[in-house]
Amino acid sequence: MVKELYRETAVARKISHVSFGLDGPHAMQQQAHLHVVAKNLYVQDSKRTPVQYGVLDRRMGTNQKDAECASCGKGMNDCIGHYGYIDLQLPVFHIGYFRSVINILQTICKVLRLLESIPGEDIPLLLMNQDLSKPSDLILQRIPVPPICIRPSVISELKSGTNEDDLTMKLSEIVFINDVIMKHKLSGAKAQMIAEDWEYLQLHCALYINSETSGIPINMQPKKATRGLVQRLKGKQGRFRGNLSGKRVDFSGRTVISPDPNLRIEEVGVPVHVAKILTFPERVHPANKEMLRQLVCNGPDTHPGANFVQQQGQSYKKFLRYGNRMKIAQELKEGDIVERHLQDGDVVLFNRQPSLHKLSIMSHRVKVLEHRTFRFNECVCTPYNADFDGDEMNLHLPQTEEAKAEALVLMGNKSNLVTPRNGELLIAATQDFITGAYLLTKKNVFFRHDEACQLASTLLASTDISMRIDLPPPAIMKPVRLWTGKQIFSLILKPNKKCKVLANLRTKGRAYTSGEEMCSSDSFVNIRNSQLLAGVMDKSTLGSGGKANIFYVLLRDWGEDAATTAMWRLSRMASAYMMNRGFSIGIGDVTPSHGLLRLKRELLDAGYKKCDEFIKSQEAGRLQCQPGCTDEETLEAVILKELSVIRDRAGKACLQELDPSNSPLIMALSGSKGSFINISQMIACVGQQAISGHRVPNGFEDRALPHFERHSKTPAAKGFVENSFYSGLTPTEFFFHTMGGREGLVDTAVKTAETGYMQRRLVKSLEDLCLHYDMTVRNANGDIVQFLFGGDGLDPTYMEGTAVGALAAQSIGEPGTQMTLKTFHFAGVASMNITQGVPRIKEIINASKNISTPIITAHLENDTDPEFARQVKGRIEKTTLGEVSEFIEEVYVPYDCFLLIKLDIERIRLLKLEVDAESIKFSICTSKLKIKPTQVIVQSPSVVTIRPPSNSKESIDFAMRSLKEALPSVVIMGVPNVNRAVIHEEIDKGVKKYKLLVEGDNLRDVIATRGVKGTKCSSNNTYQVFATLGIEAARATIMSEIKLVMENHGMSIDHRHPMLVADLMTSRGEVLGITRHGLAKMKESVLNLASFEKTADHLFDAAYYGQTDAITGVSESIIMGIPMTVGTGLFKLVHKYPFRRRNALITLSTSLYFCVLLSPFFCTLFQPLSNLFFDWHAEFSM
């Protein structure tokens, strides 16, 4: 379909709504052109003519190029197709409404022809729309036969005959069974035979609608899987997601990408080959007439040229490869359209998949170049997340002036230097540019006059080719004039005296120690009036992320042009300097010295010795357990800590030994690539291999590998790699290393799918939230979600119409892909595992009732006293009778028997438990054991006796044994479903403070515990908070939990984004998860829900209830092909039509509603729906 550039109509038409309903037999017959009765497909002749009254009858259209439709006389390309119908001999259930029919039959009395007998006034009681649906229409008496254009036959050249569509085959089977039933009825066959035929007809009608219908008997299941009508609509490749919400487009190109530091930040290098194919339709007017004439003369094979000319008033185009181009050029008139080649300066959209956030597609200006790859400046890699190892990118060419303007202003590369996730710079210097700037601005870097001029001349290119450059006075005058690297770098910011840009920045660099400008590592950056006075430039001052950045300062104070120009100058100067200076990495850079090897050996011996001591003390039972940990867990924690200390120390020693000119060290110090851990692994020691955050677990026979002794806990046996990559790994070390690497690979693969689905759900639920003119955030129906965006309205980039919902979804979803999937974070103590990363984000946005690690943080009334903390812990933590008793024994004496419980008084005192024998008696009597107070006798403060019930039906012996087994689990203290509480110690302003971390989700009981400060309690279970404290507390919990997960992974995110998600989830008065169930409660639009999940269910429900979709949201608008009400589509334009009558000027304003046929393309996609599922009304407002 060619895009219509200028619509030549007097009125603008727009679909106003779509209503759904059920089609009855009468409506089906009215819409149809043919009654299908013939079971054969083709006449037995050589031409393969379709049988008349068959399912391929030409009156329903044609799919052969040389044939015409018998109904409308049009060919294959023009005929939109016509319906037929099949009259069923016996009525069958519609599989889509089967459950609805059962529900109706359960609500009315049992007599024959029930559904037809329901009076019209009672239909609304069944929640049906009586104008659009009748209960009797839920039973199929007729089946519509869709047009042939949506079920074409494929003629096979290899073998004679055709391959028929699944729908055609299923329809022919239905006609055949229908025929059989009719014959059996006429011949008076047995009722059982007709019943079997009827069942078979029901099965095929169900499979025709939904070929994945469950519950089919094994002997009746189809041999090969077919595609029913439902299968055409659902899923990623279905009509909704594959053809309506997302389409393949024209005017696009795709090829491999390459770097080019000479291109400006906003430019993209396009191959000439692509530029000749992609065209822009330019309308001829006096200003461009001569230029377009020249392009027409050049034709399609010479760049710049043109491919087509469309003269005003004509429907066809002239292809310029053939015909007299000179004549066509001379005949060009104003109003003609010339489809010219892509030229320098044209606006194009550039995109890399996966498009995780809005900066994955931005507009650039074209620079046509030789060769066959797209090229762009490496500074723009970060927003696209692109690298040059074979990545491909897409280019889209906007086809109208309006699209061009929107692309340039809203999606412009310059306008999107900062990310909406947190307002930090995303387009900035990377890798080589940072290394080059770091080396250029180091101390002791001097240039002679010729070298300084050579470097300064790299700034002269593109539009700055004739710019004047003022070299500053040299830093050293005698014996020879020398300029410092810092002076040359300053030219990037202010190349001459006329330049008005005066940037000022004082900030700490990456390697800052102390003393500001007197810092020993020269890592305090001081830029005054665009002159670099002190400090080396590194990632913190040049790279993306953070706001203490020279480009951020330029953007903030001097605008986007100053920032992008400085970036472009830096990329040229840094790469030129690096090419001339030379920068490489070789095996010599990672060769350790003898001193380093000796030091590493000493560190390893000392560390191994400590680990052996820990293992021995654990075996002897002398190891002091950490709070809430067993001795095994404590041993693992202390060994892991010791081994990480070994690696860190070896790494530090390695860094001290390295020469300052070492290339990997320069890269790590400047922040351009790699870290100190990478260097120490290459040179000194690879370190402990972790699997799920622990040492390598035991495999078979209590050891990780058969190369070690059983039950061995030594570092080497549990995955510690003492070798470096330089020295090479031993076979066992290599195996452990691959185990760690495999986990990373699996994690990445699983994470991609998990986060992709999570982001899709977020976007689907938030997509229609938009910032309105009154500063409120509303959804497509106009419901307010936030009264003031962000709670304060202080958004610096505030613009009415901003799709803040989509931005929030992207800002939470995009960092998710960078998070590790299975991460456990220790909340101060090794025992408390808190789910983190993607699984935790999923739990929060799904509003899960049962989360994997529920934790309540309880602040204490007296938070400085450890004794008080232990007391409160005893009140909260579940304590059972078995934990505080020395023994429970059966005692048999003549004429009596009882259980004797000996309490461990010393343990009760140490645990600070507020229990005694009397309270234990009360706990036993109130437990589920059905023991009366008369059966329990307190003999002394430490002895309690219990007699079994005398009226027990079992023997006394059995009663005693079962009682002895049940008693240890009786809860005598604490909150029942709290298994553990750990005292967490933290130092606040030099004072030790204590709080409790409670493992469990009984928030109400914890708040009510004596000694707990109830107003300061918090839980990470949103549902529990909602049930206990209400909806506002749940909203605050969602916000704080999302923020906490992001912070634990070192990612910053603006609080507005989690706030918007929390507001949406709680806007209906209950916590709704962002899942298909939550979405169904949030949204009312049928098309929106159908394009998300459970497509068929939503469409059948909409038809049953007679719903109407107002087409206000984003998904519905895209499906219908109309502008959505966000961004530039938020406002409406009112046109005044001057209309003269009797010399009076009046404004004509009419509003008419009428039904029209849908376009051929739309009909083709939706015709199977319009009869089988619902009656499709598309009303247009004019």
Residue-wise pLDDT tens digits, 397-428: 999 998 999 999 999 999 999 998 888 899 99
Instruction: Return the closest-CA partner of residue 912 out of 878, 884, 972, 871.
Output: 871
> Which H or E run includes 327?
helix 325-330
CATH architecture of 587-729: Orthogonal Bundle (1.10)
Q: Give the pLDDT score at 446.
A: 93
pLDDT of 763 = 92
Terminal CA-CA length for the chain? 24
CA-to-CA dists, residue 722 to 611, 695, 708, 732, 773, angstroms:
14, 14, 16, 11, 63
Weakest mean pLDDT among 673-682, 860-869, 1144-1153: 1144-1153
Pick from 99-108, 249-258, 674-683, 773-782: least confident: 99-108
> Does the pLDDT at position 778 exceed 60?
yes
Position 917 scores a pLDDT of 79
Q: What is the mean pLDDT of residues 296-318?
A: 90
Report if pTM > 0.85. yes
pLDDT at 341: 94
Under a CB-based contact definition with an 8 Å cutoff, are residues 1100 and 1076 in contact?
Answer: no
Q: What is the mean pLDDT of residues 198-220?
A: 87
Give the domain 252-408 fold: Barwin-like endoglucanases (2.40.40)
Confidence (pLDDT) at 794: 75
pLDDT score recorded for residue 112:
58
Superfamily of domain 431-572: RNA polymerase Rpb1, domain 3 (1.10.274.100)
Least confident interval from 6-20, 693-707, 963-977: 6-20
Query: Does 1179 score more than 50 pLDDT?
Result: no
Greatest mean pLDDT range, 539-553, 614-628, 690-704: 539-553
**Among the listed residues 362, 345, 355, the one whose alpha carbon sits nearest the alpha carbon of residue 427:** 362
Residues 473-494 pLDDT 10s: 999 988 999 999 999 999 999 9
Amino acid 1169: pLDDT:
40
pLDDT band with cut points at 50, 70 and 90 for residue 796: low
CA nearest to 882, candidates 920, 856, 851: 920
All structural domains of the chain with their residue ranges: 22-243, 252-408, 431-572, 587-729, 879-973, 1086-1181
Give yes or no on whether 431-572 and 1086-1181 have one common fold. Answer: no
pLDDT average, residue stretch 602-619: 86
Domain at 1086-1181, CATH from 1.10.1040.10, 3.40.640.10, 3.90.1300.10, 1.10.150.390:
1.10.150.390
**What is the predicted pLDDT for the residue at 8?**
47
Residue 146 confidence (pLDDT): 93
Q: CA–CA separation, 120 vs 129, rounded Å?
A: 10
Rounded to an integer, the average pLDDT of 668-688 is 88
Distance of CA 538 to the CA centre of its chain: 32
* Whether residue 1141 has pLDDT greater than 80: no
SS3 content of the chain, % helix, strand, coil (to 5): 40, 15, 40
Q: Are 1001 and 856 in contact (CB under 8 A)?
A: yes
Cβ atoms of residues 946 and 967 within 8 Å: yes
- As a CATH number, domain 22-243 is 4.10.860.120
Q: Over the chain, what is the mean pLDDT?
A: 85
pLDDT per residue as tens digits for the range 16-27: 899 998 888 888
Confidence grade of residue 158 (pLDDT, cut at 50, 70, 90): low
Q: 1168 pLDDT exceeds 50? A: no
pLDDT beyond 90 at 903? no
Is the pLDDT confidence value at 1106 over 50? yes
DSSP secondary structure string for all residues of 883-923: HHEEEEEEEEETTEEEEEEEE-HHHHHHTT----HHHHHHH
Cα–Cα distance for residue pair 275/736, rounded to 1 Å = 52
Q: What is the band of 1176 on the pLDDT scale with cuts at 50, 70, 90?
A: very low
Instruction: Provide the pLDDT confidence category of residue 885 given band limits of 50, 70 and 90.
Output: confident
pLDDT tops 90 at residue 565: yes
